[in-house]
Amino acid sequence: MQEINLPSTSTMLSKDFLFGVATSSFQIEGDRKGRVDCIWDTFCEKEGAISDATNGDVACNHVELWKRDVELIDALGVDAYRLSISWPRVMKEDGSVNEVGLRFYVNLVDDLVKRGMKVFVTLYHWDLPQYLEDNGGWLNRDTAYAFEKYAEVIANALGESVYAYATLNEPFCSAYLGYEAGIHAPGKTGIANGRKAAHHLLLAHGLALQVLKKHCPNSQNGIVLNFSNCHTPSNAPDDLQAAKLADEYHNQWYLKPIIEGKYPDVIEKLSADDRPDIIEGDMEIIAQPIDYLGINYYTRTVYQSDGKSWFEVVPPATSELTAMGWEITPDAFTELLVDLHQRYTLPPIYITENGAAMDDELVDGEVKDDSRTAYYHTHLNAVNNAIEQGVDIRGYFAWSLMDNFEWALGYSKRFGIVYVDYDTQKRTLKQSALAYSELVKSRINRYISGTE
C-alpha cells in the first residue's frame, strides 16, 4: 500500500499542527425537506446543468447518518473537522429561525467537541437560500446584510465551541462560476454580474466577520479562498502579462481587498459598467484583520494571451491528471504558498482543502486508490516545503472526508478518502484514508514515546 510520509524533522508532525477532513452542507447533507430551497436545488432542475442530472436531495444522507459519520471521522484520528452550515436549513424566508435545523448543527458541533475535535465552521459554502436569489441574490447588496443576520444567529447558537469560523468558502466560485461564467448556481453570466457578486460577497464577509469577532472573540475568525497558480506556456511578454491579469482577476481579487483594502489594478481594465459599485466605507468593512486565512488548493492553471490584451486558459498538456482533468502540480503548491507569503503580510494559514478526484473502483470491499494517496503524499510534502521556507501554516484538511455531490459534475467525480455507495449509503475507507489515518496516528505515537 502506498504511504504518506513526511520528513521526521517536519514541524507538521508536532502536536500543534492540525490534521483534518472537510465537507460542505449541500454536498453531503440531503434532507431537502428539512430546509427551504437553495440556488443549487433550482440549478439542478435546469436541463443540462448537472452532468449526470442528479441533485442534492439525498446526497450522503448525512443529516440522518451524522452520528455514524462523526464516529468515522473520530476513528480516523484526525484533530479537526471542517463542515459548513446550510443557510437555508437555518433561516426561514420570514427571517425567523428554523429551530430543528439549527439544533442539528448544535448537536453535531457538541458531539465533535466532546470527542476532543476542533471544529471549523464555514458559514457559506454556496447554498444561498432561493428566496434571496429571487430578489437578486449576490447581485443585491441586501444579501450581504441578510448574511450578517444569519451569522449572528450562528454565532449565538454555536459560540466559541467552534474553534474557527470561516465567513465564506471560495467567493471566486460563487461570483465567477455562479454569476459570470454561469456554470454554477444560479447560472448567471456577464462580467458586470460577476464583479458585482464578488463585491457583495466580500462585503458580506466583512459584515459577518464583525459579528463573529463580537460574539466569539476567542474563536479564530477568517475566510477560505481558493488559489491556482497562473503559469504561462512561454516567457513571451504577452503571455506573462496575460498570466498577471488572470492572477489579479481570479486570485488577488479576493485577497487584496481583505489584506490591503483595495482591488488589484486589473479593475482599471474593466469598463465603468462592469466595475462593482463600491460605496464609501465598503473597503474598510472588507479589510478588517482576519485571524487566519484558509487556502484551498488543487492545481495550477496555464494562461496565454488571447491576442486582445486579455487572457485565455491553455488546456493541460501532461498526462499526470486527476479525474477532473486537473494537472498534478505539488511544486506549484509550494510556490503559491511562498509567493503569497512574500507578497502580503498574512495571518497564520490553514490549508482548508486539498485533494483529488480519481477513478475509484470498489473491488471486494476495497478501494486501492494509490494515485490519490500519492497526491496526498506529494502535496503534504509541498506544504512542509513551504513551512521550511518560512510560511506560517498551522493545519491541513483533506478534501474530502467522503465522496459527495461534486456540483455541476454531480456524483460522477469522487473526492473522498471514504467511498460512498449511494444506493446503500455504506461508507468504505479507501486506502488513502488508511494512509492518511496512519500518518495522523503516527504523530501520537511520537508524543507518547517522547521522540518529538
CB of 296 to ligand GCO, least distance (A): 5
29: contact with ligand GCO by CB under 6 A: no
Q: Does 138 bind ligand GCO (CB under 6 A)?
A: no
Per CB under 6 A, the segment of 4-12, 168-176, 375-383, 432-440 that binds ligand GCO is: 168-176
The amino acid at residue 228 is S
Q: What gap in Å lies between CA 264 and CA 28, rounded to an integer?
A: 35
Applying CB under 6 A, among 24, 193, 220, 229 the residue interacting with ligand GCO is 24
**Whole-number minimum distance, CB 356 to ligand GCO, in Å?**
9
Per CB under 6 A, the segment of 169-177, 200-208, 254-262, 429-437 that binds ligand GCO is 169-177
Cβ(386)–Cβ(370) under 8 Å?
Answer: no
Under the criterion CB under 6 A, does residue 360 sit at the interface with ligand GCO?
Answer: no
Q: Which residue is nearest to ligand GCO (CB)?
A: 296
Q: How far is the CB of 92 from ligand GCO (least distance, A)?
A: 25
Cell of 65: 447518518
Of 35 and 414, the one with the shorter C-beta distance to ligand GCO is 414
Measured CA angle at 104 (ends 22, 214), to 5 deg: 75
Q: Does 369 contact ligand GCO by CB under 6 A?
A: no
Name which position in 18, 128, 173, 393 contacts ligand GCO (CB under 6 A): 173
Give 215 or 413: the residue with its C-beta nearer to ligand GCO.
413
The answer to whether 415 contacts ligand GCO (rule: CB under 6 A) is: yes
Please list, residue by residue across 2-14, b when 16 or more beta carbons sit within 10 angstroms of its beta carbon and e when fewer do: bebebeeebebbe
The residue among 224, 234, 404, 226 whose CA lies nearest residue 303 is: 234
First to last CA, the chain: 26
H helices of 319-398, where?
Answer: 330-343, 370-388
348 CB burial (10 A radius; 0-12, 13-18, 19+): middle
* Positions marked active-site: 170, 353
Using CA atoms, how far apart are residues 270 and 301, in angstroms rounded to an integer?
22
For ligand GCO, which is the closer residue by CB, 173 or 175? 173
> Quick one: which segment of 11-19, 167-175, 215-223, 425-433 binds ligand GCO (CB under 6 A)?
167-175
10 Å CB burial of residue 16 (0-12, 13-18, 19+) is: exposed
Q: In 3D, which of 250, 270, 271, 253 has the Cα closest to residue 262? A: 253
Decide: is 301 part of the binding site for ligand GCO (CB under 6 A).
no
Q: How far apart are CA 108 and CA 104, in angstroms?
A: 6
CB distance 209 to 167 below 8 Å? yes
Q: Which of 69, 353, 369, 403 binds ligand GCO (CB under 6 A)?
A: 353
Which amino acid, one-letter code, is at 110? D
- Euclidean distance between CA atoms 343 and 92, whole angstroms: 42
By beta-carbon proximity to ligand GCO, the closer residue of 163 and 297 is 297
C-alpha–C-alpha distance, residues 130 and 141, integer Å: 16
Q: Are 372 and 417 in contact (CB under 8 A)?
A: yes
Stretch that binds ligand GCO, among 42-50, 53-61, 97-105, 166-174 (CB under 6 A): 166-174
Restricting to residues 74-133, which ones interact with ligand GCO according to CB under 6 A? Answer: none
Cell 466532546 found at: 114
Least distance from ligand GCO to the Cβ atom of residue 86, Å: 13
Binding mask 226-255 for ligand GCO (x = CB under 6 A): x-----------------------------
Q: Is 406 in the site for ligand GCO (CB under 6 A)?
A: yes
The nearest distance, CB 447 to ligand GCO, in angstroms, is: 31
The nearer residue to ligand GCO, 282 or 298, going by C-beta atoms, is 298
Question: Where does this chain bind ligand GCO (CB under 6 A)?
Answer: 24, 27, 169-170, 173, 226, 296, 353, 399, 406, 415
